[in-house]
Chains A and B, each alone.
Chain A
Amino acid sequence: MSGCVAHRRREREPVVITGTAAVSPLGCDPDGILDRLFAGVSGVRQVDVDKRVQTPAPFAAPVTVIAAPTGVAAGEFAALDRLEQMCLTPLVGALADSGIDQSVGGPRIGLVLGLGAEQLKAWELDFLAGGRTVFEARRTPTLVHRLAARAGITGPALTVAAACASSGYALALARSWIDSGWVDVCVAGGCDVLSPTSIAAFYNLRALSRRADDPAKASRPFDRARDGFVMGEGGGFFVLERRTEAAARGARLRGELAGVGMSSDGVHMVTPSSDPTQAARAITAALADAGVSPAEVDYFNAHAAGTPVGDVAEAAAIRLACGVATDNIPVSSTKSMTGHLVSGAAAFEALACLGAIERQAVPPTVNLDEPDPDCPLLHVPHVARPHPVAVAASNSFGFGGSNLCLVFRRAA
């Protein structure tokens, strides 16, 4: 993991991604998700909100079906809460996709779960189902350890939270564990679920779009008429390992996690800083860590959630970090189609970057009818664009001024 600012690149053995799986408003199989993502399909729709909460913005981007993963009985899966279901299916799916050996004496496998408000969600889901857990004086093991046990992961496991950048930090920590030699393989990612009180809290914070009359048009990052984000749910998991070991076992190399950069604004608990310096430092550090110049970046998956302040701040950060090269880097926000997956956003957007590398195309920002002149970037409005993509970068920002940039590269 690189530090918070630009520094010289350390020599390290490349860490590659050999397994992916996701659950999302665009479906649950990676190829189908990418098909819809590159076709510009929106997953935003009217949703039924718990009658006890009755938010004035009853639309979101939900996951409609979560299938039980292989090896987990349907009844057992149905008994899990929605958050555990949402995480378990892609976690097991990513392991299966990688073909990794989980037998006794096999590789040491770790798990890093990016999840920002696990307990708030768990207490709420329990309460709305008639439970009283939140009032009881007891401590319960966290989800990551239950997931590890169910998935047969016996190595270190932890939960990391950086608000809306959580699952990106999970990928960053996972790469560091492999670099450190603590594990041979690490599964990382994160998912989030819609909940009535989180919708209400973000609505009351005035962070959500109020375009209730036309939900599919509500998520419009970088557009002049944007008025907030749309909540979504889902996310993804990835299997990471050293390239030499992955290649030796004949694994499919989906891409390299080549660069990580992180920083904090240190300014406000909610609002991103209007000074792009720290966000740009995260981008610069990630590019330096990957050993690429801004001119070598072929695609930027922006954090851009569609908030008036955040999109402008991000555009300024990209421009500050990439300079004149900015004019030639296609930038899009897949949140225009999926809504904001919150803790799971960075993981899903990592999948979008790998998809861009695989398909040699850039997914669009739908609903971008009139780009905001305060967001001067090379946008990809409405339709995907064929484009050679060897290096893709993904920004994630979170409450508390958390800044993260991940750089993915085509695996040689």
Chain B
Amino acid sequence: MKPASPPVGCRIAVHALLESPLSELDSLRNRAAPPGGPPLPPRFLRHADEQTVVGMHAVLAALAHHPQPTFVAGHAVVAAPCQSGRLAAARTLAGLPAGGAATVSPHIVPQCSLHSVAGAVSVALGMHGPHIGVGGGPDALAEGLLAAATLVTAGSDPNCTAAWVVATEWAEEPALDATGDALGDPVCRALAILLEPAAAAPDGGEHALSLMLAVRVPTPTASRPRLHQTEGDLVAFARALAMCAEGGALATWTVTCPWGGEIRITGQPRPATGHVQEAA
């Protein structure tokens, strides 16, 4: 292995984990932003994919507990959904044989593609940093963190002040009936974290949670990497963040990547408490 690249230092300013069963998503879709953060434009989420709805409200929940007013216009967004748009795709395809082209919603591409979660957060909150969707499959969380580390590493721009990572998924991938409706009441969840450059941490900041992202890439070996190794566990990641923030302990969370390397996150808390928002 070649010499390891230095870890990327940043801090988690705020984070929030949010879960919602499908039966409550319409309510969440129409819910106003919580007090203390920026407002959500009226009816903004009416055409949005389920993962966008949950991801957006995770960001809003996190922002509502930001210790200081934050200049969101300078933020970037890296969204890492897992199989977003599947329900809309199934409904569209189920309707094709009978209805043809006229039944295809014009919203499906802008609202249900890989970029859509990031686009919605960027548009709703007026963010002018770059926004990208990353992953899209079982490895989305790892790929999202890798992309965020890329942005943070490159972050020499003083006007691009922070980057959101918004990871979304169904807790269990829902089975769908022949019309594209979900069977049962699957739970959709999102973790939103706001990464700021390490230098941006205010001295004695109440919520500061320092974090080091290390990306380790092995040199090529005779063995091929496994096609798919592990699903980065979004809930376990949130738990590690909470433990680090609330327990005052050093926490390490590692995801082993399909390409044989790893992304290791080591959190070193400051004395005070962070916040995890959980909302049903």
**B150–A173 CB distance below 8 A:** yes
- The answer on a CB contact under 8 Å between B132 and A162 is yes
Please indicate the chain A residues that have their CB under 8 angstroms from the CB of B113 in the complex.
Answer: 116-117, 120, 161, 163, 399
In the bound complex, do residue A108 and residue B132 qualify as a contact, i.e. CB atoms below 8 Å apart? no
Bound state CA distance, A361 and B183, in angstroms?
A: 58
Closest to B159 in A: A5
Give chain B residues whose Cβ lies under 8 Å from the Cβ of A402: 115, 119, 130-132
Query: Chain B residues in contact with chain A, CB under 8 A?
Result: 2, 5, 73-74, 76-77, 82-86, 89-90, 92-93, 96-97, 100-102, 104-106, 108-116, 118-120, 122-123, 125-139, 143, 146-147, 150-151, 153-160, 172-178, 180, 215, 217-222, 224-225, 227-228, 231, 257-261
With A52-B100, A145-B139, A177-B150 in contact, do A400 and B115 touch (Cβ < 8 Å)? yes
A199 to B92, alpha carbons, bound, how many Å? 13
Q: Which A residues are CB-close (under 8 A) to B118? A: 400
Residues from chain A with Cβ under 8 Å of B102 in the complex:
200, 204
| Known A154-B224, A269-B119; contact A135-B175, beta-carbon cutoff 8 A | yes
Q: Interface majority SS on B: helix, strand, loop or mixed?
A: loop
In the assembled complex, the Cα of A267 lies from the Cα of B127 at a distance in Å of 9
22 A-B pairs whose Cβ atoms sit less than 8 Å apart in the complex: A2-B157, A102-B220, A116-B113, A127-B96, A134-B86, A141-B137, A141-B138, A141-B227, A149-B227, A152-B224, A160-B134, A161-B113, A161-B133, A166-B115, A173-B150, A197-B104, A204-B106, A266-B122, A266-B123, A267-B123, A399-B113, A402-B131
**In the complex, what residue of chain A is closest to B222 when comparing beta carbons?**
A104
Contact A141 B220 (CB under 8 A): no
User: Which of B111, B147, B222 has the most chain A CB within a 10 Å cutoff?
Assistant: B147
A-chain residues with CB within 8 Å of residue B123 when the two chains form the complex: 264-269, 400-401
CA–CA, A69 and B141, complex, Å: 31
Tell me whether A145 and B104 are in contact (CB under 8 A): no
18 additional A-B pairs beyond A116-B115, A137-B172, A400-B115, beta carbons within 8 Å, are: A4-B128, A4-B157, A106-B220, A115-B114, A116-B113, A134-B89, A135-B90, A145-B259, A149-B224, A158-B134, A159-B114, A179-B153, A201-B106, A205-B110, A266-B122, A266-B125, A399-B116, A402-B131
* B219 & A108 in contact (Cβ 8 Å cutoff): yes
Known: A5-B157, A158-B135, A204-B102. A266 touches B127 (CB 8 A): yes
Report yes or no: B76 in contact with A119, Cβ–Cβ below 8 A: no
Q: Which among A119, A156, A202 is the interface contact of B86 at CB below 8 angstroms?
A: A119
> Measured between C-beta atoms, what is the minimum distance from B169 to chain A in Å?
9
Q: Given the known inter-chain contacts A108-B218, A264-B130, please indicate yes or no for A5 contacting B160, CB distance below 8 A.
A: yes
Instruction: Give min CB distance, A343 to chain B, whole Å.
Output: 9
Cβ of B131: which chain A residues have Cβ within 8 Å of it?
Answer: 162, 264, 400, 402
Contact A3 B160 (CB under 8 A): yes
Residue in A182, A199, A203, A398 whose CB lies within 8 Å of B215? A182
Contact status A55-B128, CB under 8 Å: no
Question: Once the chains bind, are A1 and B176 in contact (CB under 8 Å)?
Answer: no
State the CA gap A188–B238 with chains docked (Å).
31
Max count, chain B CB within 10 A of own CB: residue among A134, A173, A398, A400: A400
Chain B residues near A298 (CB-CB < 8 A): none
Chain A, Cβ-Cβ closest to B111: A269
Q: Which residues of B contact A198 (CB under 8 A)?
A: 109
Chain B CB count within 10 A is highest, among A10, A54, A137, A157, for A137
Given A154-B221, A264-B130, residue A137 in contact with residue B114 (CB < 8 A) = no
CB contacts (< 8 Å) of B215 on chain A: these are 156, 180, 182
Of the candidates A5, A118, A127, A204, which one forms a contact with B114 in the assembled complex, judged by CB atoms under 8 Å apart? A118
Asked if A142 contacts B261 (CB within 8 A), the reply is: no
The complex places the Cα of A232 from the Cα of B222 at a distance, in Å, of 39
Chain A residues whose C-beta falls within 8 Å of the C-beta of B133 in the assembled complex: 116, 160-162
A123 touches B93 (CB 8 A): yes
Interchain CA distance A127-B92 in the complex, whole Å? 11
Contact between B108 and A140 (Cβ–Cβ < 8 Å)?
no
Whether, in the assembled complex, A53 has its beta carbon less than 8 Å from a beta carbon of chain B, the answer is: yes
- A138 and B173: CB pair below 8 A? yes
Give the shortest distance, in Å, between A95 (CB) and chain B (any CB). Answer: 13
Contact B101 A204 (CB under 8 A): yes
Interface string of A73-98 (1 = CB under 8 A from B): 00000000000000000000000000
A154 touches B100 (CB 8 A): no
Instruction: Determine which residue in A136, A145, A202, A267 has the highest number of CB atoms from chain B within 10 A of its CB, and name it.
Output: A145
Interface assignment of A263: CB less than 8 Å from any CB of chain B: yes
Q: Quick one: closest A residue to B52, CB to CB?
A: A269
Closest-CB distance, A70 to chain B (whole angstroms)? 19
Which residues of chain A have C-beta atoms less than 8 A from B231's C-beta?
Answer: 139
List, in ascending order, chain B residues with CB within 8 A of A65's CB.
none
- Taking CB atoms, residues of chain A closer than 8 Å to B122 are 264, 266, 400-401
- Which chain B positions have C-beta within 8 A of A262? 130
For A263, list chain B residues within 8 Å (CB): 128-130
Contact residues in B for A155 (Cβ distance below 8 Å): 217, 220, 259, 261
- CB pair B154–A142 under 8 Å, yes or no, is no
Question: Nearest CB to that of B113 among chain A residues?
Answer: A117
Cβ–Cβ contact A135 & B130, under 8 A = no
Q: Are B120 and A400 in contact (CB under 8 A)?
A: yes
Q: Which 9 A-B pairs have the closest CB atoms?
A: A3-B157, A400-B119, A161-B114, A3-B160, A142-B137, A205-B106, A200-B101, A200-B104, A1-B154
